[in-house]
Chain A
Amino acid sequence: MSTPDLLLDPQLKYWVLLPISFVMVLVGLLRSNITYLLQPGPKLEEYKAIREKQFLRRAACFRQNNGVLTTEEFENRRQYLIEKLNSTEFYAKVEDPNAESTNPLSDPSTNDALMNMAKGNMMNYIPQTLIMAWVNYFFAGFVIMKLPFPLTDGFKQMLQTGIETPNLNVRYVSSISWYFVNLFGLRPIYSLLMGDANAAAELVNQQQQQQPLPNIGGPGGPKASKLFQAEAENIQILTHKSIFDGIVDRVLDQHA
């Protein structure tokens, strides 16, 4: 080796590296359990709202699976669906077209959704911030390890926080970088410990994930009337090709 190595006390590893990993694993498991407990149970919805969604789904199913119907059946269903989709019979509530759009924040159902989102985010950020503060407070100001691979000088600022030695090799890093390595690297450990790969993946990259909310007339969702009209148009232009067309010939061909 060309440059002499820095001598680091082995006790540093036992009292800094291992405790940080240990605490992060335990906090991760605790967090996953708390998130599970905080998940809201299924809510009772008004039957009209459910009927609206299910009718829309029925139309979509018809559109996707129309091949299994004969031409006559298809025509009957198409007529019925178009008629109903263009009427207001299945709307959850008939809206006054002249009414001003109400403030979405005053709607109680919107508040619920926002509250859940806030809870999820809090469960995500608070433990991370706490651990980072803990690492920064207790283990600041010394080099704990040498990374096995070289990095560019750009990382110096981030990985050597609290070490005022401008010419130190970037491979010597402080405790906060071990925190970052753990933050990204613990997913396989969680998934092996919990036996559930999905929950583990959620723990690590909750930040990027935003669950798609299937809502009609919910906060920010499209209006029911728009969806109904779009579906009606889709059904209108549907070309029908039944799987029963020429089925006798095909079966005979296959078994000839």
Chain B
Amino acid sequence: MPDIIYPPSIQSNHQKLQRAQDIASLVLGIGAGILTLESAYGFSFYLVGITITNGMFFAVCCQNQPDKFFTNPIRDIFFEGIFSNVPGFIMMWCLVYALVKVNS
């Protein structure tokens, strides 16, 4: 018999993951701007950073029992949020890059 799922918990977990990723993507954007990374370096910085954040979320928040909190933990945590958070990263990246780089 399949386990009965409690929808409000799923929603709340997803919102928390989303919040962590929001903060991470904005801050990574700021960081990429400060370091004045360009093109591919910036995007790989984002990919590495967000994956480390997701890994931290996986290790710290899920307490090694990801099945308890997500229906499909690997996909939900590591792959779903990567592309939806790119615009926020790009915005902060462009802003801080423009502010920091004085001669461009």
Residue ranges of A at the interface with B (Cβ–Cβ < 8 Å): 5-8, 10, 13, 17, 21, 144-150, 178, 181-182, 184-189, 191-192, 197
Given contacts A8-B104, A17-B98, A197-B15, whether A185 and B42 have CB atoms under 8 Å apart is no
Contact of A192 among B23, B38, B40, B98 (CB under 8 A): B23
CA distance A178 to B93 in the complex (A): 12
Query: Known: A148-B39, A149-B43, A187-B88. Contact between A6 and B22, CB under 8 A?
Result: no
A191 touches B36 (CB 8 A): no
In the complex, how many residue pairs between chain A and chain B have their CB atoms under 8 Å apart?
Answer: 78
Q: Are B104 and A149 in contact (CB under 8 A)?
A: no
CB atoms of A148 and B19 under 8 A apart: no
Q: Which residues of A contact B93 (CB under 8 A)?
A: 148
**Nearest chain B CB to A17's CB is how many angstroms away?**
6
List the B residue with the shortest CB-CB distance to A184. Answer: B87
Hey, which chain B residues are within 8 Å of A10, CB to CB? Answer: 102
CB-defined contacts of A147 to chain B, threshold 8 Å = 94, 97
Closest Cβ–Cβ distance, residue A221 to chain B (whole Å): 26
Can you list 12 residue pairs at the A/B interface with Cβ under 8 Å?
A13-B99, A17-B98, A17-B99, A145-B98, A146-B97, A146-B101, A149-B42, A181-B87, A186-B88, A192-B22, A192-B23, A197-B19
Nearest CB in chain A: distance from B7 CB, A: 14
How far is it, in angstroms, between the C-alpha of A181 and the C-alpha of B38 when the chains are bound? 17
Name the 5 nearest CB pairs between A and B, nearest first.
A185-B91, A188-B22, A184-B87, A188-B88, A185-B87
48-97 of chain B: CB within 8 A of chain A: 85, 87-95, 97
A104, B19: Cα distance in complex, Å: 44
Residues of B within 8 A of A181 (CB): 87, 90-91, 94
Contact in complex: A146, B104 (CB < 8 Å): yes
Contacts of B91 in A (CB 8 A): 181-182, 184-186
Q: Which residues of B contact A6 (CB under 8 A)?
A: 104
Known: A5-B103, A8-B104. A149 touches B87 (CB 8 A): no
Q: Tell me if B47 is interfacial: C-beta within 8 Å of chain A.
A: no
For A145, the closest partner residue in chain B by CB is B98
Return chain A residues, CB-CB under 8 Å to B15.
Answer: 197
Q: Would you call B33 an interface residue if the criterion is a C-beta within 8 Å of the partner chain's C-beta atoms? A: yes
Min Cβ gap A208→B in Å is 13
Q: How far is the CA of A182 from the CA of B33 in the complex (A)?
A: 16
Find out whether the CB atom of A191 lies under 8 angstroms from the CB atom of B22: yes
Q: Tell whether, in the assembled complex, residue A148 and residue B38 are in contact, meaning their CB atoms are under 8 Å apart.
A: yes
> Is B30 interfacial (CB-CB < 8 Å)?
no
Residue on A nearest B99 in the bound complex, by CB = A13
Pair B19/A191 contact, Cβ less than 8 Å: yes
Check B37–A188 contact: CB distance below 8 A: no
A186 CA / B99 CA spacing, docked (Å):
18
CA A17 – CA B99 in complex, angstroms? 9
Tell me which of B25, B39, B89, B104 contacts A150 (CB under 8 A): B39
